[in-house]
Amino acid sequence: MADGQKAAGTKRARPAKPAPASAYARPPKAPYATEFARSRGRLYPEPESRTRTPFERDRDRIVHSTAFRRLRGKTQVFVAHESDHYRTRLTHSLEVAQIARSVARVMGLDDDLAETLGIAHDLGHPPFGHTGEDVLDACMEGYQGFDHNAQTLRVLTKLERKYPAFDGLNLTWETLEGVVKHNGPLIRFGAALQDLPIAIQEYVGAHDLELDTWPSLEAQVAAHADDVAYNNHDIDDGLRAGLFTLGELREEVPMVARVLAAVEKDYPGIDEFRLVAETIRRLIGVWINDLVVESGARIAAARPQSVEDVRAAGKPLIGFSDAMNEDQAVLRRFLMARMYRHWKVNRSRSQAKRILKQLFELFVSEPELLPNTWQRGLDGPCGQRTARRVCDYIAGMTDDYAIEEHKRLFSLERG
């Protein structure tokens, strides 16, 4: 067959249709975004990566850390073994990172830094959620206390030990600043350095994180992404657990009721599982849109021209509108009454309190029961270094490991 001759019965291939243009266009980097090329660097200087920005490298180090993997076995409300469907600290951190990255990107910020801070923000949480934090703080009274945010810094700068040249992950100044200050300056309104958790005091003595200034916009975005994620996944988890009903949520939380009604109008007769999923999806969008619009207005009013202007602004430039804060307060009151203080959750909380308190008291009084690698450098029963080491050991446990460790040490049953 001659070149160009068409075989009988064949059809000429149609040219592919061009892909539809996206309604979304990625904005250019804003002048007040954090610039990775101008990072203040790491406490221990290292050659730069050829394939990743400094903030991407920070993210990857966190993802490969032991503390990050352990988040899969830590929960906020439920105990990890109660169901495979409830969020863990790991899945929550991934959700926060995704929301933070999306918001940062549309606002022209460094989305890698925002994502990194979302992934890192919960690394210091102990087992059993906020109950575990309360118990450890009470146990550490007289031993300089316990704070999950300070513990995150401790994990990132001291407790992770995999590199030959330094303890910790040796992350950039911007990532560590965002981890410590994501909720705002730590030294303000009369507070002093000596009022802060000891882990923060010790670290900033060697690596000044400027605790009296506001953090980057990327850190502020990550903090609000945390709110968006846990507000919405607590609705989902609470419904799955049967702690409250869709009817109660509709009756008592107007914001949710409005979105539910819109979904039912768009999809008449939709089954409840899909109704809940679509409602959660839209609620997240409502929160994100409000955050972007309100934050854009604040930034336009403040007119920062650099990340240093952001730090010196004297107020947060990322936030929700007053209306959204009111809606959020209504939801939080509902969840507090219907979920966080539900009698089933109270029972789990009571068990968690006893487990952690008894483990702490036993290890502090008999530190020889700790694994060998945790016994180095102790100062004897009930000593300051011993208590902090025990606290680090317990804080790193997953829910199930804490339960099993308690059984090994306190149960008289023989297998």
Residues 245 and 369 placed together within one structural domain of the fold:
no
The pLDDT, as a whole number, for residue 2 is 46
- Last residue of some domain: 343, 360, 390? 343
Tell me the average pLDDT of the chain.
Answer: 91
Asked whether residue 294 carries a pLDDT value surpassing 60, the answer given is yes
Asked whether residue 9 carries a pLDDT value surpassing 80, the answer given is no
Among 66-80, 114-128, 223-237, 320-334, whose mean pLDDT is lowest? 66-80
Residues 208 and 277 placed together within one structural domain of the fold:
yes
Residues 185 and 302 placed together within one structural domain of the fold:
yes
| pLDDT tens for each residue of 169-208 | 999 999 999 999 999 999 987 678 888 999 999 999 999 9
Residue-wise burial string across 345-363, b where 16 or more C-beta atoms lie within 10 A, e elsewhere:
beebbeebbebbeebbebb
The verdict on residue 40 lying in a domain is no
Residues 66 and 203 placed together within one structural domain of the fold:
yes
Residues 334-343 have a mean pLDDT of 93
Tokens of 390: 């025990």
Identify the bridge partners of residue 172 per DSSP, sorted by sequence position. 42
The pLDDT, as a whole number, for residue 191 is 74
Q: How confident is the model at residue 337 (pLDDT cuts 50, 70, 90)?
A: very high
The pLDDT, as a whole number, for residue 10 is 42
Looking at the structure of the chain, the number of domains it has is: 2
Helix (H) or strand (E) holding 116: helix 111-120
With beta carbons less than 8 A apart as the criterion, state whether 238 and 339 touch: yes
Q: How confident is the model at residue 81 (pLDDT cuts 50, 70, 90)?
A: very low
Residues 260 and 381 placed together within one structural domain of the fold:
no
The pLDDT, as a whole number, for residue 77 is 72
Domain interval for residue 381: 345-410
Q: How confident is the model at residue 6 (pLDDT cuts 50, 70, 90)?
A: very low
Report the CATH number at residue 153.
Answer: 1.10.3210.10
**DSSP reduced 3-state for 42:** strand
Residues 324 and 377 placed together within one structural domain of the fold:
no
Residues 382-409 have a mean pLDDT of 96
- Between CA 121 and CA 89 the distance in angstroms is 10
The pLDDT, as a whole number, for residue 86 is 74
Residues 242 and 321 placed together within one structural domain of the fold:
yes
Residues 232 and 360 placed together within one structural domain of the fold:
no
The verdict on residue 45 lying in a domain is no
Asked whether residue 135 carries a pLDDT value surpassing 60, the answer given is yes
| pLDDT tens for each residue of 245-260 | 999 999 999 999 999 9
Residues 259 and 116 placed together within one structural domain of the fold:
yes
Asked whether residue 243 carries a pLDDT value surpassing 80, the answer given is yes
Q: How many CB atoms lie within 10 A of CB 315?
A: 9
The verdict on residue 34 lying in a domain is no
Helix (H) or strand (E) holding 92: helix 89-106
pTM exceeds cut of 0.85 = yes
